[in-house]
Amino acid sequence: DAEITQSPRHKITETGRQVTLACHQTWNHNNMFWYRQDLGHGLRLIHYSYGVQDTNKGEVSDGYSVSRSNTEDLPLTLESAASSQTSVYFCASSVNRDSFQFFGPGTRLTVL
């Protein structure tokens, strides 16, 4: 069955370190998204991609970057982790830009 996976599921890191969160989908979807979820803020869009070599900034993109070298993967990199980036991160994919999204299980990141 097609799926979307995230790794690691839990990560503890230190301030200033570079961290990469992986997202892999086997739906063959062109559209992929990264969100962060914080209490009181719902889900906020970090970056998104409409296809290979395409990336776009969302509403909370500062301090994050993504690259899309193939259809299946959209890794999220925190260039220099900050305590404010402690959050739960969700990856999602969709067949069309306005269709519903399949979500991964999430990565809980703690920055100490």
**Site of interaction with another protein (CB under 8 A):** 33, 35, 40-45, 48, 50, 56, 58, 90, 92, 96-101, 103-106
Nearer to another protein, 18 or 34 (CB): 34
Residues 6+ apart with CB under 8 A from 16: 80, 81
Using DSSP, state whether 67 is helix, strand or coil. coil
Nearer to another protein, 39 or 70 (CB): 39
**Nearest-angstrom CA–CA distance, 109 and 2:** 25
Using DSSP, state whether 94 is helix, strand or coil. strand
Nearer to another protein, 3 or 14 (CB): 3
Residue 24 Cβ, how far from another protein at the closest point, in Å? 14
